[in-house]
Amino acid sequence: MARILVINPNSSEACSAGISAVLAPFRHAGGPAVDVVTLQEGPPAIYSWRDWHAVVDPMCRLVERTDADAYVIACASDPGIEAVRAVTTRPVLGIFRSAVAAAVARAEKFGVIALVESSKARHRLGLRAMGLADRLAGEVALNLPMDTLLDPDAAREALIGAGRDLAAMGAETLILGCTGMAHHRTAIQDAVRLPVIEPAQAAVGLAMIALAA
């Protein structure tokens, strides 16, 4: 059986559990195994460039010692994607780039709900790499800790407010800019009335296409 390894680059087991839960629809008889692992050496969340760079080498070593048919980097800053691609011949997908690909397939303009203000620069890096910076309608940062995002209710109104702000900026679809937001997707979509893309789902979907090719 083929295997897709989804790597959570932060050390939050609760975040990994949320990622695994949102990927449940991709697990079915006859399909590839979809396994989520936590990078134990990672920070509690990736807030800064320092956090971003700190996980690159541990992720490379994890991929080198762990067999899979495709790898997904489950952080919406796509940390170390070029470095990880250099240590394996298997497909390596970043969830932010995957979400952007899904967004532009559905609409002309998209918006991003970011974890913190400093996330925006890392998202711009990914957009420039894809040549799609001009398709971004706007980005709104919540500036909340990961623990607040993971709570079932604490961040819900802030997320919906950010989604409405992005709709007012002209976004026609929304990207959740952190895996900690995954369990809020349906509530945001219902409230804002725009398609909401969960990045880990987008990446695993593309990984399955890669394995089927």
| pLDDT, position 206 | 97
Report how many domains make up the chain.
Answer: 2
The confidence band for 178, taking pLDDT boundaries of 50, 70 and 90, is: very high
29 and 12 part of one domain: yes
Q: What is the pTM of this model?
A: 0.94
- Cα distance from N-terminal residue to C-terminal residue, the chain: 16
The confidence band for 20, taking pLDDT boundaries of 50, 70 and 90, is: very high
What CATH number is given to the structural domain containing 88?
3.40.50.12500
What CATH number is given to the structural domain containing 125?
3.40.50.1860
Q: What is the mean pLDDT of residues 64-88?
A: 97
Helix (H, G, I), strand (E, B) or coil at 77: coil
123 and 43 part of one domain: no
Using CA atoms, how far apart are residues 72 and 74, in angstroms rounded to an integer? 6
Q: Closest Cα partner for 92 from 205, 212, 203?
A: 203
| pLDDT, position 78 | 96
89 and 156 part of one domain: no
Domain of 28? 3-94+201-212
